[in-house]
Structure 1
């Protein structure tokens, strides 16, 4: 069974206070493999480290979150990218999902609970994918 504590996380946010809060939420639920980046370019340059989940701020100075999201998805579509924003904007949320984000979270007083729920959903999805892939592989092998 895959465990969230084994996941590798990237937090990409030019607001150090926010990224520290997100890191603390993750540590509180047992996650320890966490890397911070203060800009999208550094994140993209380190995708070879194969993070499982990236928490990506929408509003950054160098590249905005959408530009980074699109590049991440081109390089490795299997990474779960969660867009995080300070503004509650339905268009931004819809665009984030359209460009391949797994989810869109608002930075508010409930964000820690939302992060916890989101990660447990990803654990379940990864487990189901593993099961269905195993079934798929055995079906293919049964033809030989």
Structure 2
């Protein structure tokens, strides 16, 4: 299980440097090493070629609204897990985030970091199941061939 966590690449996108560094430190304390912080949506979009697995995306940023960034990330690669993080506990914002393809919606509160690791655990479980299903698919395929 530990080895699986090492190969996740994270982007943290937040124009609040303090928030971004708190998240980064928290992830590093949970032995995630591959983390890049961006202070704007534009910067994040310019670096998508680095193929992040998970993006924590602040909803309310100066340059590009989080939804715009989310849509562009999903157009670039629908398989990136985008977790929208917002200071507002607004049900419409949450619903729209999910509608535009966010994997989860977290409210910036005292427990936001714990919620991040819970979400990462969910992603790891999904990835694990997907890779096992691929193996099952290969096995079926080979049993037909031989």
The TM-score, its normalising length taken from structure 1, stands at: 0.95
Distance in 2 (alpha carbons) for counterparts of 1:87 and 1:123: 27
Structure 1: 5+ residue runs without aligned partners? Answer: none
Aligned match of 1:71:
72
Structure 2: 5+ residue runs without aligned partners? Answer: none
Instruction: Return structure 1 stretches of 4+ with deviation > 6 angstroms.
Output: none
Distance in 1 (alpha carbons) for counterparts of 2:70 and 2:144: 39
Contact 1:84 1:105 in 2 (8 A): yes
What is the CA RMSD across the aligned residues, in angstroms?
Answer: 1.2
Aligned match of 1:134:
135
Q: How does 1:30-109 map to 2 (within 5 A)?
A: 30-109=31-110
Per-residue CA shift, 1:111-140, capped at 9, x if unaligned? 111111111111111000001112123333
Q: CA deviation at 1:141?
A: 4.2
Contact 1:4 1:120 in 2 (8 A): no
Distance in 2 (alpha carbons) for counterparts of 1:85 and 1:69: 13
Distance in 2 (alpha carbons) for counterparts of 1:27 and 1:76: 25
Count residues with an aligned counterpart. 144
